[in-house]
Amino acid sequence: MPNVILRAENIYKKYGNLEVLKGISFRVNQGETTVIIGPSGTGKSTLLTCINQLTPPDKGHIWLEDTEITHPDTDINLIRSSIGMVFQHFNLFTHLSVLDNVRIGLLVVKKIPMSEATKISMEKLNDVGLGDKVNAYPAELSGGQQQRVSIARALAMKPKLILFDEPTSALDPELIGEVLNVMTKLAESGMTMVVVSHEMGFARAVANDIIFMENGVIVEEGKPDKMFIQSENPRTKEFLHKITELYGGKKE
């Protein structure tokens, strides 16, 4: 039995009268990458932010290993420090240098001494290929570089799992590759990842599991080959066909 890192059961979320999530359940095994795909406005991003409680779900339970995240007694800041998150718009701290963006969580949240925090941060920045940019500020970097900083920021916290919320959607096409490369390397190194993305090429090559969501429910879930080639579900087929055409994923 693989070790389950994340388990979500029956997640419901409403914004006013709009039901965004209608009973989502899934699990993610250690070291595996789950890619969530689906049309815009189906609640994919909401589902991610439910996991680290940035938008607490109305109903349902989520566990990170043996800890129930949704339990009222759980220290949510502690949980968040062990779940990395990478955002569509990078969300870097604009007043801090690249190094400080990565280091601040270690210093402030984990209370690691400066020299140790610097060492870890430098290591992670080297991992994402930005060892020479540590003194730059976010506004001086390209989108691809900013996104790699934000991956390094997540990595530095030694997370059990990283959530990616459309990490390449805000990037110029020629910058998408550098971010996907870093993510692919991460997945290969055994990081557990949940990725909301329209990058079908990445999904197919890297995902252990693909979840197709529409209108707040999981329509279909399975291995990439099953989803891309043998899907029985007409909605999945239609969506994958359209999106593959649009984003130019791997041809069959």
Partner 1 sequence: MNFLALAWNILPKLMEGAVITIQLTIIAIIIGIIIGIPTALGRVYGNKVVYTVCSFFVEIIRGTPLLTQLFILYFGLPSVGIMLSPFTAAMFGLGINSAAYQAEYFRGAIQSIKKEQLIAAYSIGMNQMQTIRHIVLPQMFRLVIPSWSNELIYLLKYSSMAYMIQAPEIMSQGRLIASRNFRTFEVFIIVALIYLVLVSILSKILDIMENKFRIPGL
As a residue count, the chain comes to: 252
Q: How far is the CB of 124 from partner 1 (least distance, A)?
A: 13
The interface with partner 1 within residues 109-128 (CB under 8 A) comprises 109
C-alpha closest to that of 149 among 139, 140, 138, 164: 138
Binding mask 132-171 for partner 1 (x = CB under 8 A): ----xxxxxx--------x--xx--x--------------
Of 67 and 82, the one with the shorter C-beta distance to partner 1 is 82
Q: Provide, rounded to whole angstroms, the least separation between the CB of residue 187 and partner 1.
A: 20
Which residues touch 124 (CB under 8 Å, ≥6 apart)? Answer: 102, 152, 153, 155, 156
- Minimum distance between the CB of residue 206 and partner 1, rounded to whole angstroms? 22
Q: How many C-alpha atoms does 116 have within 13 Å on its Cβ side? A: 8
Rule CB under 8 A: is residue 94 a binding residue for partner 1? yes
- Closer residue to partner 1, CB minimum distance, 191 or 243: 191
Site for partner 1 in 29-88 (CB under 8 A): 52, 54, 77-85, 87
If binding is defined by CB under 8 A, does position 95 make contact with partner 1?
Answer: yes
- Residues in contact with partner 1, counted by CB under 8 A, come to a total of 32
Which tokens sit at 184?
């692919």
Among 5, 92, 120, 180, binds partner 1 (CB under 8 A): 92
Nearest-angstrom CA–CA distance, 187 and 185: 5
Query: Pick from 91, 169, 181, 215: which binds partner 1 (CB under 8 A)?
Result: 91
Residues 26 and 4: their CA atoms lie apart, in Å, by 11
CB of 245 to partner 1, least distance (A): 31
Q: How many CB atoms lie within 10 A of CB 26?
A: 18
How many CB atoms within 10 Å of residue 105?
Answer: 19
**Residue 151: Cβ within 10 Å count:** 26
196 within 8 A of 164, measured Cβ to Cβ: yes
Contact 4, 27 (CB under 8 A): yes
Minimum CB separation of residue 239 from partner 1 in Å reads: 28
Q: Give yes or no for residue 108 binding partner 1 (CB under 8 A).
A: yes
Smallest gap from Cβ 44 to partner 1, in A, equals 16
Strand partners for 7: 27, 63
For 149, 228, 230, the CA distances from 225, given in Å and listed in that order, are: 32, 5, 7
Give the nearest distance from C-beta 48 to partner 1 in angstroms.
10
Interface contacts to partner 1, rule CB under 8 A = 52, 54, 77-85, 87, 89, 91-95, 104-105, 108-109, 136-141, 150, 153-154, 157
